[in-house]
Structure 1
Amino acid sequence: MLNNSIKKICILFFLYFLIISKTVAQSQENYNKNMELACTLYLTKKEIPKNVLLRLTPKTQDNFSLLYNTTHPETEIGRTDFFYDITQYIFNEVLLYKNMKFYDASLQLASFADGEFAEGFIENLEKIINLNINKFCKTIKNKEYRLHNPIKYYSKFYKCN
């Protein structure tokens, strides 16, 4: 009896793993397609629609790596300021245009602050937080990215619960 229960649990776990793996792969494929569209529009100097821009906000380290890899100078897009322009466009939607559809996306993006671009990301994050500290605290509640610096730091600094 116990042996059958263990087999059933193993089968269920395996099926769950397959479903999750397929979902993650589809999500990455969608991100890749969106990235290709954004790069094409950028290189042809056409406006990137806000819905495409919003979907460029990385939700995973893999997404962020793909976005950051656009800085490598051996590619056509890498010889441009695509990465810096796109990330600033996302922040500016909140900072300049008060487009709250981008509020969570901006915080998500800021959670990837690291290396050469960290200072700019953190400056934008501070400006966004200062728009409304309570909104910041409410938005990050129950978000996975609240556990990552610099969001984690500001969450503690402003005593977000």
Structure 2
Amino acid sequence: MPNTTPSPSLNDPRALLRHLFDVAVQRALPLHNTAAFLPTPPKGRTVVIGAGKAGGAMAQAVEALWPADAPISGLVVTRYDHTPPRPAGLKDRIEVVEASHPVPDAAGLAAAQRILQLTQGLTADDLVLCLISGGGSSLLTLPADGLTLEDKQRINRELLNSGANILEMN
């Protein structure tokens, strides 16, 4: 969706910078960049799974862009207080739950377990759309065998306190 608002003049640098910022933020919103990546609905079910700080906005974009007559369901986990307000008239087809970031919590663990359950029994006629944004590894935590949620929380806190950057932590 191209922006048709005229650009401010170079004579007003503050207005020009504000305009550039607003255009960049608008373009980064999932509703404005998701449509080109959505496949056609399958013969079977469409299940949406995902996690990240933009998870709620991404789920809403898929709900808005997915054909109204094509069934879709799923579960996406986002950070507490990061679920955007639901646009008026947008049908709620993908559940969005919230969990802790950057230190994982029981809500993220429960979401990961539910997502695993949602993917059981799928066939070649079904489609899984996976929505991942920053923070997904914390929000969708599922400890490996032999580890507990408390182990992951402790390690995560220790890494945060060590000054490790996000690349080192991941």
TM range (shorter): 0.3 to 0.5
* Greater length-normalized contact order (CA 8 Å, ≥ 6 residues apart): 2
Structure with greater proportional helix content: 1
TM-score (norm 2): 0.32
